[in-house]
């Protein structure tokens, strides 16, 4: 063992071995892996080893597809047999809603390039898996590239392939402490101290402790998970093929063949956490006693689904621990505030996702950002609130118990809520507000009559008419929206202007004005669709998406310069937007200064009643609108004041569902849909805000795209002939039988009376008037490209 390596990976499970392999594969061979015991000790050795294609998050499905493709490659490269059984896989649905969801998911898979799937009838499924009862099933999805592998062999294959490329692996080497230095890290072990530039926490069950060594509290917790291996099943001895990996969504079970028996795994509704502060250091190859009373209901369903299990015994019970994050996705990437410290934790499906996690982290470390959008597993998607043990316990338990339970787009899950509430929260709740959550903050969705409950659905909600009324208030009259759920960063200091001019790709606003501000990474892909406000006193605000607060602060810190201070105002500033053609009249009645003198995209300090506020004239609805920002403590008074001032004009409180409908009618994109770090400015139309005459982060890559043939896909607006459902995102777009794009977001335009969507479509098919089709909840619907901004295309309303 040397005294210095470029990277030290802590943890010898499948994730740590994959990170090591990918670092070496991409050219960094001066890397080592430290394992306190032996490779696979922890969760990897007792994992069921199954892999399957289905994931409700398209980005995670693509990550899984990469991992599956990689398996044969690492087996060949390492020379280590990984026991790969590519049996194919079935995912079965037994309720109309779940069957509808599975059909919709099949189309999403087509959008992201997974072409080896097909829908099957119960009869066909019964032939593919002859030991399965198809009673109650409505249909299923078959995937060619599903199956199982030998977990120990696979970990050794990753590690062996990494060693062939120059990496080092050290077993029986325990990390005792981590010390940050100016150059990187000191890794203190029981065999000596190693210095390195980067350290990777891939410690699995011990990720919590390895985080704490660096002063980091990761939102992870182990939970217990059961599976059984049966004795030999006579029926399997009589067929000449392996039964496929099979998931019974209604029964909360998965099954694969194991020699001439089967392995039946269970995701228990009655969850049990273990060692929430991290596994004991002397834990490694142990298992827990099976708890058949805790899994009785799921076990009964499994034995009914596979009647042959009722005739044979159980050869082995496995009840082991795996780590989970609050949403079940991995925690990957550079940890904010700890330069050189990388997370590769909470990969609960390590043999399914570990290859993609290793690739993502290695690309990130070496090239500055990964090839694919890593947001769904970025460690920066959580803030300090997620360090709370109660939050971790509630959310990880909720995810685990819902592993095979579909979540609807309009469904609000209760775990870990509420955490943070705007000061006027209770008053808005009394007025009928229904709440969603953004990061840790409760945000208004819509205001409903008391006693109203929204029904989860893939189709149009029973709140459809309520949102329509809120949209009418925005378009016809005046509406009030709580905007505490916008992020706000204050930038100040003698070099603030120069720093912003380099970081943002667009022109900076002059004093008293605001401008849209695209921000790019070094590869020319997007890092933000922000709004920049110049208050004229040396201070700027950057406004964006509330749930990106830690993500953007990490980016700002990574590109910081002397003479600049960036402060996150998310816990200090709240506000309300007054929107609609009568919004100016409402504010004029309570503002000391002349609100009519504030131009479109103007901003400045205003006295609104007794409140000293920062006001900007802008709105994403396409109507005249004013955003009034106040201190958190002024939020209640500001709401009362504006409701009283607008009472004569019929002011109505609205939520973000109305905002999403009205922004679609303007063809205004939003982050995580039209704008992501996987897309470029030219693809999305944000290039029109770029100032090409200055230097900025990402300019060379963006200029190469501008001077080249152009992007392969462009963002367009679609009108869809929908019936009772609207597109929501990732549905495939077709020209005849040719797939030519996918939906980025969609919904119903309540004012225009149209089902609308925005989509990235191949350039050859992106012309206005082009007839296309879109699968909406699994049903193909006619669609056509329309001119942007079907409502008020000239923008007269918002500039009035």
CA angle 251, 410, 791 (to 5 degrees): 145
Strands 31-34 and 168-170: parallel
Whether 473 maps to a domain, the answer reads: no
Let me know whether 525 and 618 are in one domain.
yes
pLDDT at 405 (0 to 100) = 86
- The DSSP code for 310 is G
**Calpha distance 579→600 (Å, rounded):** 13
Could you tell me if 168 and 31 are in contact, meaning their C-beta atoms sit under 8 angstroms apart? Answer: yes
Let me know whether 100 and 204 are in one domain.
yes
**Calpha distance 143→105 (Å, rounded):** 12
Let me know whether 754 and 619 are in one domain.
no
- Check which CATH number belongs to the domain holding 133 and give it: 3.50.50.60
- Check which CATH number belongs to the domain holding 756 and give it: 2.40.30.110
The residue among 10, 15, 1 whose CA lies nearest residue 47 is 15
Let me know whether 209 and 358 are in one domain.
yes
- The DSSP code for 460 is -
Let me know whether 316 and 176 are in one domain.
yes
C-alpha distances (whole Å) from 390 to each of 325, 415, 498 are 13, 10, 43
The pTM score is: 0.95
DSSP 463-520: THHHHHHHHHHHHHS-EEEE-TTEEEEEEESTTHHHHHHHHBSSPPPPTTEEEEEEEE
**Calpha distance 345→279 (Å, rounded):** 14
H-type alpha helices, 79-225: 96-111, 122-128, 151-164, 207-212
Whether 447 maps to a domain, the answer reads: no
Rg of the chain over CA atoms, in angstroms? 27
pLDDT at 407 (0 to 100) = 86
Let me know whether 173 and 249 are in one domain.
yes
Q: Which residues contact 706 (CB under 8 A, 6 or more apart)?
A: 682, 687, 692
Strands 4-10 and 192-201: parallel
Let me know whether 723 and 649 are in one domain.
no
The residue among 225, 260, 235, 47 whose CA lies nearest residue 132 is 235
- Residue range of the domain that includes 554: 486-653
Let me know whether 635 and 717 are in one domain.
no
DSSP 548-601: GHHHHHHHHHHT--TT-EEEE-TTTEEEEEEESTTHHHHHHTTBSS-GGGSPTT
The residue among 67, 73, 74, 75 whose CA lies nearest residue 50 is 67
The residue among 248, 224, 406, 242 whose CA lies nearest residue 318 is 224
- Domain closes at, from 624, 653, 682: 653
Q: Is 79 left (phi over 0), alpha (psi -120 to 50) or beta?
A: left
Whether 276 maps to a domain, the answer reads: yes
Let me know whether 642 and 728 are in one domain.
no
Half-sphere exposure of 69 (CA within 13 A, CB side): 10
Residue whose token pair is 């080497």 = 173
- How many domains, in total, are found in the chain? 3
Let me know whether 638 and 745 are in one domain.
no
pLDDT at 350 (0 to 100) = 93
pLDDT, tens only, 45-71: 999 999 987 777 778 888 898 999 999
The 3 state secondary structure assigned to 732-751 is: EEEECCEEEEEEEEEEEECC
Whether 641 maps to a domain, the answer reads: yes
Residue whose token pair is 């360090």 = 387
Residues in the chain: 800
**Calpha distance 139→94 (Å, rounded):** 7
Whether 702 maps to a domain, the answer reads: no
Kindly provide the b/e burial profile for residues 330-340, where b requires at least 16 CB atoms within 10 angstroms of the residue's own CB.
bbbbbbbebbb
Let me know whether 608 and 723 are in one domain.
no
Let me know whether 324 and 202 are in one domain.
yes
pLDDT, tens only, 335-354: 999 999 999 999 999 999 99
- Domain closes at, from 635, 653, 671: 653
Whether 171 maps to a domain, the answer reads: yes
Could you tell me if 287 and 320 are in contact, meaning their C-beta atoms sit under 8 angstroms apart? Answer: yes
**Calpha distance 410→418 (Å, rounded):** 18
Whether 398 maps to a domain, the answer reads: no
**226 DSSP β-pair partners:** 266, 319
Q: Is 659 exposed, middle or buried (0-12, 13-18, 19+ CB in 10 A)?
A: buried
Strands 192-201 and 185-189: antiparallel
At 397, list the tokens: 């338990």
pLDDT at 36 (0 to 100) = 97
- Check which CATH number belongs to the domain holding 516 and give it: 3.30.1360.120
Torsion of CA 495, 498, 500, 502, to 10 degrees: -140
DSSP H/E element including 230: strand 221-230
pLDDT at 57 (0 to 100) = 78
**Calpha distance 688→516 (Å, rounded):** 10
Could you tell me if 727 and 104 are in contact, meaning their C-beta atoms sit under 8 angstroms apart? Answer: no
Whether 408 maps to a domain, the answer reads: no
pLDDT < 70 positions in the chain: none
């Amino acid at each position: 063992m040397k005294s210095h390596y470029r990277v030290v990976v802590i943890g010898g499970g499948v994730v740590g071995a994959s990170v090591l392999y990918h670092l070496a594969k991409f050219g960094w061979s001066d890397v080592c892996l430290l394992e306190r015991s032996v490779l696979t000790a922890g969760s990897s050795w007792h994992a069921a080893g199954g892999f399957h294609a289905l994931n409700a998050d398209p980005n995670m499905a693509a990550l899984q597809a990469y991992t599956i493709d990689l398996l044969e490659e690492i087996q060949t490269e390492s020379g280590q047999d990984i026991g790969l059984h590519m049996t194919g896989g079935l995912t079965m649905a037994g309720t109309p809603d779940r069957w509808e969801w599975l059909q919709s998911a099949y189309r999403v898979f087509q959008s992201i390039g997974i072409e080896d799937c097909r829908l099957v009838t119960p009869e066909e499924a019964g032939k593919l898996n002859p030991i399965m009862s198809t009673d109650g099933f409505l249909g299923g999805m078959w995937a060619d590239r599903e199956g199982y592998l030998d977990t120990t062999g696979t970990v050794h294959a990753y590690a062996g392939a990494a060693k062939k490329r120059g990496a080092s692996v050290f077993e029986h080497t325990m990390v005792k402490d981590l010390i940050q230095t100016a150059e990187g890290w000191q890794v203190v072990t029981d065999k000596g101290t190693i210095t390195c530039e980067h350290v990777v926490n891939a410690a699995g069950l011990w990720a919590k402790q390895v985080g704490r060594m660096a002063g980091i509290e990761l939102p992870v917790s182990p939970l217990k998970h059961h599976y059984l291996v049966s004795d030999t099943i006579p029926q399997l001895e009589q067929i000449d093929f392996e039964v496929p990996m099979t998931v019974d969504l209604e029964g909360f079970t998965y099954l694969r063949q194991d020699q001439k028996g089967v392995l039946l795994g269970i995701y228990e509704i009655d969850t049990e956490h273990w060692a929430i502060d991290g596994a004991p250091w002397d834990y490694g190859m142990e298992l827990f006693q099976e708890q058949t009373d805790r899994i009785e209901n799921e076990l009964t369903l499994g034995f009914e689904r596979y009647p042959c299990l009722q005739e044979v015994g159980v050869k082995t019970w496995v009840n082991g621990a795996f780590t989970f994050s609050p949403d079940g996705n991995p925690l990957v990437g550079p940890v904010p505030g700890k330069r050189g410290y990388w997370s590769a934790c909470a990969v609960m499906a390590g043999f399914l996702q570990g290859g993609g996690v290793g690739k993502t982290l290695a690309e990130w470390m070496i090239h500055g950002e990964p090839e694919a959008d890593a947001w769904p597993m970025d460690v920066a998607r959580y803030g300090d609130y997620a360090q709370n043990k109660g939050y971790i316990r509630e959310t990880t338990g909720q995810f685990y118990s819902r592993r095979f339970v579909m979540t609807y787009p309009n469904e609000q899950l209760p775990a870990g809520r509420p955490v943070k509430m705007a000061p006027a929260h209770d008053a808005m709740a009394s007025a009928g507000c229904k709440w969603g959550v953004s990061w840790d903050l409760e945000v208004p969705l819509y205001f409903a009559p008391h006693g109203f409950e929204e029904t989860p659905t893939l189709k149009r909600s029973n709140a459809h008419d309520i949102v329509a009324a809120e949209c009418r208030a925005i378009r016809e009259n005046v509406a009030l929206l709580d905007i505490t759920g916008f992020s706000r960063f204050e930038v100040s200091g003698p070099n603030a202007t120069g720093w912003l001019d380099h970081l943002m790709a667009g022109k900076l606003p002059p004093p008293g004005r605001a401008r849209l501000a695209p921000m790019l990474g070094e590869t020319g892909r997007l890092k933000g669709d922000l709004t920049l406000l110049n208050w004229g006193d040396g201070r700027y605000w950057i406004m964006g998406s509330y749930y990106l607060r830690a993500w953007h602060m990490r980016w700002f810190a990574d590109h910081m310069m002397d003479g600049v201070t960036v402060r996150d105002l998310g816990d200090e500033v709240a506000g309300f937007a007054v929107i609609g053609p009568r919004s100016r009249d409402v504010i004029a009645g309570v503002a000391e200064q002349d609100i009519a003198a504030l131009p479109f995209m103007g901003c400045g300090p205003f006295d609104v009643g007794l409140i000293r506020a920062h006001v900007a004239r802008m709105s994403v609805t396409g109507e005249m609108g004013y955003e009034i920002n106040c201190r958190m403590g002024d939020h209640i008074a500001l709401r009362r004041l504006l409701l009283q001032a607008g009472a004569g004009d019929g002011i109505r409180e609205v939520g973000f569902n109305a905002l999403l409908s009205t922004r679609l009618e303007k063809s205004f994109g939003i982050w995580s849909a039209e704008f992501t770090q996987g897309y470029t400015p030219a693809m999305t139309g944000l290039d029109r805000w770029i100032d090409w005459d200055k230097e900025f982060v990402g300019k060379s890559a963006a200029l190469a795209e501008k001077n080249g043939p152009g992007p392969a896909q462009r963002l367009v607006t679609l009108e869809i002939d929908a019936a009772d459902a609207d597109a929501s995102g990732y549905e495939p777009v077709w020209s005849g039988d040719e797939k030519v794009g996918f939906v980025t977001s969609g919904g119903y335009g309540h004012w225009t009376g149209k089902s609308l969507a925005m989509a990235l479509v191949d350039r050859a098919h992106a012309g206005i008037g082009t007839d296309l089709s879109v699968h909406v909840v699994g049903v193909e619907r006619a669609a056509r490209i329309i001119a942007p901004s079907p409502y008020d295309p000239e923008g007269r309303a918002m500039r009035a």
